[in-house]
Structure 1
Amino acid sequence: MSKMSTDLVRHALNGATMGTRWSALFVTDLGFDPAPVQAALQAAVDNVDTQMSTWNPDSDLMRLNAAPVGEWLTIPAQLLDVMQLGLEIGKASDGAFDIGMGDAVTAWGFGADAAASERIRSAMTATRLPAHEAVEIDMANVRVRKHAPIVIDLNGIAKGYGTDRLAETLGGFGIASGLVGIDGEMRAIGLRPDDTPWTIAVEAPDPLRRATHSVLSLQDAAVATSGDYRHWVDVQGYRLSHTMDPRKGAPLLASPASVTVIARTCAEADAWATALMVLGPDIGAQCARQRGLDALFLLRDGDASVRTLGIGHLFSNQPAATAPATRNEPYGTIQ
């Protein structure tokens, strides 16, 4: 039986990380000091940022990007784990999720510098190997090497991974119930104090206001959303979303309004949400079914309304939908 609410204290902690905010919500007995938890949570995300930031020229990731092709480089175990997962999802998605798009991300103005036409042309004309073919990882010796020129960017997975580290940190304090997140990537731990699942809103894909499209109920699961309505740049009068098309070295010109994925870890949910955005509703839905993913596609109709396409048993109550034709060239059948 749950404790009475008078026996518990609610803690809502937060801090800065990766250009946004992290948050943690949990309850404890009376007399619990949250200060050590706050410090540990901040240290956990600071460690991820120190290793994986593309804004910090001294990060471990930027050190790897600067390393010569063919040279083995020892890197921190956490960074290696994230890269390994990113390469696995890249291969599983037929290259739709690609951690080797750092040059395009920077060229189009989603990094520290403004968009630049020369870098854009270079990114769009570059001969590319997908990252899962261009990068070799030696897990036993905690090292990595590049087999081709490549600029690695982990923005499509690092926030999810940071969220997982927040959850792990709470667990280290014996906290078995909570909700943690970074910039909307969320992970639910256990149940709420009243033994009900944690509720998490899926945003409506509206760039002008924050509104709820639907509500998820989660227990011991993570959720991440990739969309076209929050992060963009204006280039020559066009609003371009931050999600890159690895085939073109450029932002997607057509995609679902958003894709939400529920997974065991937030890093997996984060990366797969991006991959399904790139694949689009037809092949993306096929991929999600074949991979056993729970995914919610929000699709814009010509009249500006939004339809849903739910994949997986968690979204089985979503109305069936036929995805509209996409202007993206298909990736091909996902095996």
Structure 2
Amino acid sequence: MGSRYSVQYVPSAQTPQPRQVQAEVENILGELDQQLSLYRGDSEVRRFNELPADSCRVMPPAVLALVQYGQSLSSASEGAYDQTVGPLMDLWGFGPGSRQQQVPRPAVLALTRQRVGYRHLRIDGDQLCKDAAVAVDLNSVAAGYAVERIGARLQAMGVGSYLAEATGELKAVGRKPDGSAWQVSVQAPRADDPHASRVLGIDGYGVSTSAEHTHYFVHEGRHYSHLLDARTGAPISHDLASVTVIHPSALSADGLSTLLMILGPEQGWEYAQGHDIAALFVRRDGEVLSSRGTPAFERMAGANVPGK
């Protein structure tokens, strides 16, 4: 996936040796890289993307599961979140097929948008089909899915307490040897302290943060993020700096944090409240950052403060 991973776990008499655990984890990551990567020409997703319109291809369960989940997020966001934005990512300079980061001409943008749209995808049994020449990009949920797969494998090997992380998405289950929960620090700036954070004890939850400043470029004084709103074909333009989501599923935390970032501070907040999502929103007002958590986040944070 062009990134890094880490796994910490509490061993017991029943758990395998660390080398075996590492080998099992890397087998999962290697398999998913072969299936989901946009940076290798022989991946299952790349092969599907190269097909013309009105084509189908038998795909691995992982690809079908992620597309199905992505379709549900696209429908819920009225198309703001869309896993077929690959051509737009390349056009703006954020995708694997990019030549340079740029603000495209309106005519070129309009032409590229014709190759984007989640409604052009459908799942037919074990096949993924498309009625237009769309390209699938699963990067917004691949890491969360990988963490879920790693966690399931660890538990199958007898590991009952672990903290697994891939490309920044993580999940913590169980307790450390001293009986305390795994601790996760979440950025929560205040007007009087832009570097403030909140430390939570996590057991049985995935944690994901989506941020506009992780990949961007500046053109003529304007900031362009890698997060695109498929409804406009352009990078997000609101003042939301990041969203952190805590969810029992690392996959859901990964997808929802991206969804809420794209929707923005008002629409995203309404969506999170309406779906009882534990989310922390960080907004930017010039150089000043501030944060607030949804009621679900505050309930969870209050019940999972280390030492309580």
TM-score in terms of structure 2 length: 0.87
Alignment partners' CA distance in 1, 2:35 and 2:231: 27
- 1:249–1:273 Cα change, 3 Å: same
Hey, what's the Cα distance between the residues in 1 that align with 2:171 and 2:288? 29
Are 1:20 and 2:3 matched, yes or no? Answer: yes
What amino acid is aligned across from residue 90 of structure 2 in structure 1?
A: T
Aligned positions, number: 295
2:176 maps to what in 1? 192
User: Counterparts in 2 of 1:244-283, with a 5 A limit?
Assistant: 244-283=228-267
2:122 maps to what in 1? Answer: 136
Contact 1:25-1:178 within 8 A present in 2 as well: yes
Question: Hey, what does 1:310 align to over in structure 2?
Answer: 293
Which has the higher mean CA deviation after the structures are superposed, 63-72 or 115-124?
Answer: 115-124
Asked whether the equivalents of residues 209 and 257 of structure 2 are also in contact (C-alpha less than 8 Å), the reply is yes
Please name the residue that 1:159 is paired with.
143
Deviation at 1:316, TM superposition (A): 4.3
Q: Which residue of 2 aligns with 1:328?
A: none
Give the drift of 1:230: 1.9
1:83 aligned partner, one-letter code: V
Classify 1:36/1:131 alpha carbon distance in 2 versus 1 (closer, same or farther; 3 Å).
farther
Shift of 1:124: 4.5
Pairing of 1:1-335 with structure 2 (within 5 A): 18-29=1-12, 32-112=16-96, 113-115=98-100, 121=106, 122-128=108-114, 131-138=117-124, 141-203=125-187, 213-235=197-219, 238-302=222-286, 304-316=287-299
Conserved 8 A contact 2:36-2:142: yes
Aligned partners of 1:137, 1:216: CA distance in 2, in Å? 39
* Larger RCO (alpha carbons 8 Å, 6+ apart): 2
The residue type paired with residue 20 of structure 1 is S
- Structure 1 residues 187-196 or 227-236, which shifts more? 227-236
| Letter aligned with residue 291 of structure 2 | T
Task: Describe the SS at the equivalent of 1:233.
Answer: strand
One-letter amino acid of the counterpart of residue 161, structure 2: S
Q: 1:191 deviation in Å? A: 2.4
Task: State the 1:32 CA deviation.
Answer: 5.0
Evaluate the alpha carbon distance shift between residue 33 and residue 212 of structure 1 in structure 2; reply closer, same or farther with a 3 A threshold: farther
User: What displacement does 1:106 show?
Assistant: 1.2
- Please give the alpha-carbon distance, in whole angstroms, between the structure 1 residues aligned to 2:64 and 2:6: 25
Task: Return the alpha-carbon distance in structure 1 between the equivalents of residues 200 and 69 of structure 2.
Answer: 25
1:194 is displaced (CA, Å) by: 2.7
Cα offsets for 1:273-314 (capped at 9, x unmatched): 111111111111111111221111001123x22211211323
Structure 2: tracts of 5 or more residues without a match? 302-308
Contact 2:247/2:253, CA 8 A, preserved across alignment: yes
Q: Deviations over 1:2-44 (max 9, x none)?
A: xxxxxxxxxxxxxxxx111011000113695111110110111
Deviation at 1:183, TM superposition (A): 2.1
User: How far is 1:125 from its partner?
Assistant: 4.5
More moved, 187-196 vs 150-159: 187-196
SS in 1 for 2:9: strand
**What residue identity is the alignment partner of 2:277?**
L
Corresponding letter in the other structure for 1:135: L
- Pick closer, same or farther for the CA change 1:52–1:199 going to 2, 3 Å: same
- CA distance in structure 2 between the aligned counterparts of 1:120 and 1:49, rounded to whole angstroms: 33
Q: Distance in 1 between matches of 2:180 and 2:42?
A: 44
Q: Which secondary structure state, in structure 2, belongs to the residue aligned with residue 277 of structure 1?
A: helix
Deviation, structure 1 residue 237: 5.9
SS of the residue corresponding to residue 36 of structure 1 reads helix
Give the counterpart letter for 2:140 in structure 1.
G
Give, as a single letter, the amino acid of the residue that structure 2 aligns with 1:311: T
Give distance in 2, aligned partners of 1:94 and 1:52.
25
Deviations 1:98-127 (A, max 9, x none): 101001111122123332669665345544
Distance 2:221 2:285 in 1: 23
Tell me the secondary structure at the aligned position of residue 28 of structure 1: coil
Matching residue's letter, 1:114: R
Question: Is contact 2:87–2:116 with CA below 8 Å preserved after alignment?
Answer: no
- What CA deviation, in whole Å up to 9, does each residue of 1:43-87 have, x standing for no partner? 111111111111111110011111122222101111111111111
Could you tell me how far apart the structure 2 residues matched to 1:45 and 1:66 are?
23
Contact 1:228 1:257 in 2 (8 A): yes
Match in the other structure for 1:321: none
Identity of aligned residues (%): 32
